[in-house]
Structure 1
Amino acid sequence: MTQDPDPFGVLRGHVASVNAVQFLTPTALLSGSGDGVVKLWDVSKRREISGNTAHSKAGVLQIARISPCHFVTQGRDGFVRLWDTTRFSDQANPISSYYCGSFSFTKCATMRSKSQAEAEFTQLVACPGSDFQEILVYDLRAGSTSPAIKMKIHGQARGMCMSLCIIQPSSRIANCTISKQYIVVGDEGGDIEIMDMRYGQYSLSKTEISTEKNPVLAMDIVSKASRIICGTSEQAIIGAELDWDAPKFKCTSEIFRCNYGGIASISVRPDERIFATTGWDRRTRIFHAQKLRPLAILKYHSDSVFDAAFSPDSKLLATGSKDKKIALWSIYQPD
């Protein structure tokens, strides 16, 4: 790619900032806005299929795909809700509502499944709790709306939980089984901490990501390389390698530093060849996931870009912005 690309399409329809975007299928896209509305789009026809006031006017914070037919939404009203795509309309009610009690900007996390064996773990949702250092894990398969696991980060100096990521050892790594599930917590003090779901309160290790003690605002995992990509409020994008034998992260060199604002989101493409970061500087940046070098800057939006999502087939990218628009991109096509 010799020059920064333009979007091949733009979706308009939200009347508030687009805070979250998520593909369900290669042609079905979900978006959530600052007024609590969630919309389902047909990307191939570039039109809205349906919309629903899924949360209060405090806004939608996160949308996560559970399966092609199910997804969860998180609002700044303290609720996480499970929805059926096949019945989604302006009159639809959620399948279940989970009250986590968080009114912060910390997004819930699910795990992307790459095989049928891993699919059961996409039914786990990690959320911030009402206590600013508490993490709640809900099992969507259970009949109860109470959390299956409660965890807590320790140390008042570290501040509140700012970002979450669910990870598991790669199947190619010796002595690692599918049953091992970990939550990575990015905190207000600039550290990331690994916690084992099986032991709840037990912290395995913590690593300093930001030497300037700035909050870790966003994270995503590159499982092939046992690497996590972190974004901070100091405009830095940082990579950390994970030693599964410890398990412990080893902070590597800073990948990139923006000139303005912080990092709003990080999204690794399903094929793990590239990842996208969005920021308050109105830019979406594309990086090589293995070599950790910048590839392109996407400049369409006129205000802060809050979220980015790749399609399941790795062919498309959607970005949502404070300018109330969703841009659609086709970049670095998969092999």
Structure 2
Amino acid sequence: MSAKRPPPDPIAVLRGHRSSVMDACFHPSRPLLFTGATDGELRVWDTVQHRTLYSTWAHSGAAGVYSVATSPSLGDTVVSQGRDGICKCWVIEEGGLSRNPLITFRTSAYHFCKLSLVKILSCIMETHQNSCQELLPEKAEAGLNFDQHESVNVACKEKSVQVSSLPTYGPRMMATAGEKAEVELWHLNEGKRIMCFPHSSNSGCTGNSAKQKGLCMAVQAFVPPKSHGFLNILSGYEDGSMLLWDARNPGNPLCSVKHHSEAVLSLTVDAFCNGGISASADNKIIIYTLDYQTGSSSVKKEITLNRAGISGTSVRADCKIAATAGWDHRIRIYNYRKGSALAVLKYHSASCNAVSFSADCKLMVSCSEDATSALWELYPPSA
């Protein structure tokens, strides 16, 4: 895909939705893709045969499916979010999805902020999973949460596993926008709100300056390296600013930066949790770094576009490639480490809403208001 070559075409175009496709995500270990549309339909696709395996009306037509998410920590569970504030957890079965959701709960996210599952550094996840399966298989099968593992702590000490590497806040959590400028942390097993950023009891704290920044428009929850397992949250706001939070101090953000002049519509933290990419209604894409020792964020690369408006961002799991979904119907591909442009993909005939990479780094999906999702093979990782 050099400058002399035209950009590639998608390897497949997935048609079947009757309205705008708002979000898409891959299953972390199976050849499955999940897409959600504004009419409330949630579809499961086979990424090998490029066909629909299952379809259900997950949310009402008025609410639609605004976000859909999976993660390795959730296994065969997929989470859907509607614009009516309702979130649902579904189990993936042989015939498709469970007839009824495992749990349904109402959040305060009524606008355009998509949910975020907790992103955990792969080595931390492997340490936790291996220790649970080896030491307490019965609890591992039951979906033991990281915040409920006192017996695992004791067993880990006996096996010389570093307990501090196990997150205080478990992977079965999600972050969403809350009322006004708040960010909420929810427990997926119970459908209960655990925490709010800024904490409502700290009425006099500087964290309430978030209210002056407008609504929370984008959020990412993650467990950074060398954080002793404490959850961090990055949130973007209507005025273009971003706040970095530590769950140990929910009243005051670690830092506040303003890289954009318009509302932050999407932000992504990379797989190593050392930085990420953000995009806005303005004409800038920012590749940023995160420094947890100083509690700061800085610009690594600022990319200026000819046309404003990016709805979605994603960084591939190997942290080599990043992608953005634009209002101008274009998917842009970048070298994530250098920030250099690699390709502009021109297939969709309407605004692109989201873009996502598969866990094995072999596929990328883009979805659009033209009611289609496109599968791409871009710069496959070397064997």
Same structural fold, with TM-score higher than 0.5 when normalized by the shorter chain: yes
Does 2:84 align with 1:77?
yes
Question: Mean alpha-carbon deviation: is it higher for 153-162 or for 267-276?
Answer: 153-162
Aligned ranges 1:297-308 → 2 under 5 Å: 297-308=344-355
Hey, what does 1:64 align to over in structure 2? 69
In structure 2, give the amino acid aligned to 1:160.
Answer: L
Structure 2 contact 90–97 (Cα < 8 Å) conserved = no
Hey, what does 2:283 align to over in structure 1? 235
Query: Pick from 48, 53, 70: which aligns with 2:52?
Result: 48
Q: Which of the two has greater helix per residue?
A: 2
Does 2:126 align with 1:116?
yes
CA deviations on 1:309-334 (whole Å, 9 max, x unpaired) are 11111000111110001111001001
For structure 1, which runs of at least 5 residues remain unmatched after alignment?
171-175
Query: Pick from 358, 361, 366: which aligns with 1:311?
Result: 358
Paired with 1:23 and 1:160, the residues of 2 have a C-alpha distance of 29
Question: Mean alpha-carbon deviation: is it higher for 233-242 or for 45-54?
Answer: 233-242
Paired with 1:272 and 1:19, the residues of 2 have a C-alpha distance of 24
Deviation at 1:98, TM superposition (A): 2.0
TM (normalized to structure 2)?
Answer: 0.80
Hey, what does 1:7 align to over in structure 2? 10
In structure 2, give the amino acid aligned to 1:163.
Answer: A
Hey, what does 2:246 align to over in structure 1? 196
Does 2:110 align with 1:103?
yes
Question: Mean alpha-carbon deviation: is it higher for 191-200 or for 266-275?
Answer: 191-200
CA RMSD between the two structures: 1.9
Deviation at 1:224, TM superposition (A): 4.0
Paired with 1:89 and 1:252, the residues of 2 have a C-alpha distance of 42
CA deviations on 1:84-126 (whole Å, 9 max, x unpaired) are 0117758711111121032100111113342324675431100
Equivalent position SS for 2:380: coil
Paired with 1:134 and 1:112, the residues of 2 have a C-alpha distance of 20
In structure 1, give the amino acid aligned to 2:229.
Answer: S
Hey, what does 1:207 align to over in structure 2? 257
Deviation at 1:245, TM superposition (A): 0.7
Paired with 1:59 and 1:146, the residues of 2 have a C-alpha distance of 22
Aligned ranges 1:7-26 → 2 under 5 Å: 7-24=10-27, 25=29
Deviation at 1:261, TM superposition (A): 3.4
Q: 1:224 to 1:163 in 2, by over 3 A?
A: same
CA deviations on 1:26-77 (whole Å, 9 max, x unpaired) are 5200000010110000111111010111111121111110334111111111
Structure 1 contact 31–38 (Cα < 8 Å) conserved = yes
Structure 1 contact 222–289 (Cα < 8 Å) conserved = no
Paired with 2:34 and 2:271, the residues of 1 have a C-alpha distance of 25
Paired with 1:239 and 1:136, the residues of 2 have a C-alpha distance of 25
Larger radius of gyration: 2
Aligned ranges 1:274-313 → 2 under 5 Å: 274-313=321-360
Structure 2 contact 223–273 (Cα < 8 Å) conserved = no
Structure 1 contact 26–312 (Cα < 8 Å) conserved = no
In structure 1, give the amino acid aligned to 2:26.
Answer: F
Hey, what does 1:126 align to over in structure 2? 175
Paired with 1:203 and 1:101, the residues of 2 have a C-alpha distance of 21
Paired with 1:134 and 1:325, the residues of 2 have a C-alpha distance of 33
Deviation at 1:166, TM superposition (A): 1.4
Structure 2 contact 118–175 (Cα < 8 Å) conserved = no
Equivalent position SS for 1:41: strand
Paired with 1:88 and 1:270, the residues of 2 have a C-alpha distance of 29
Paired with 1:305 and 1:330, the residues of 2 have a C-alpha distance of 18
Paired with 1:50 and 1:145, the residues of 2 have a C-alpha distance of 25
Hey, what does 1:250 align to over in structure 2? 298
Runs of 4+ in 1 over 4 A off after TM superposition: 87-91
Q: 1:251 to 1:91 in 2, by over 3 A?
A: closer
Number of residue equivalences: 324
Question: Mean alpha-carbon deviation: is it higher for 33-42 or for 225-234?
Answer: 225-234
Equivalent position SS for 2:119: coil
Paired with 1:207 and 1:168, the residues of 2 have a C-alpha distance of 20
Paired with 2:285 and 2:227, the residues of 1 have a C-alpha distance of 30
TM (normalized to structure 1)?
Answer: 0.91
Paired with 1:293 and 1:88, the residues of 2 have a C-alpha distance of 43
Does 2:247 align with 1:184?
no
Query: Pick from 365, 373, 376: which aligns with 1:326?
Result: 373
% identity of equivalent residues: 30
Structure 1 contact 52–91 (Cα < 8 Å) conserved = no
Q: 1:77 to 1:235 in 2, by over 3 A?
A: same
Paired with 2:95 and 2:296, the residues of 1 have a C-alpha distance of 41
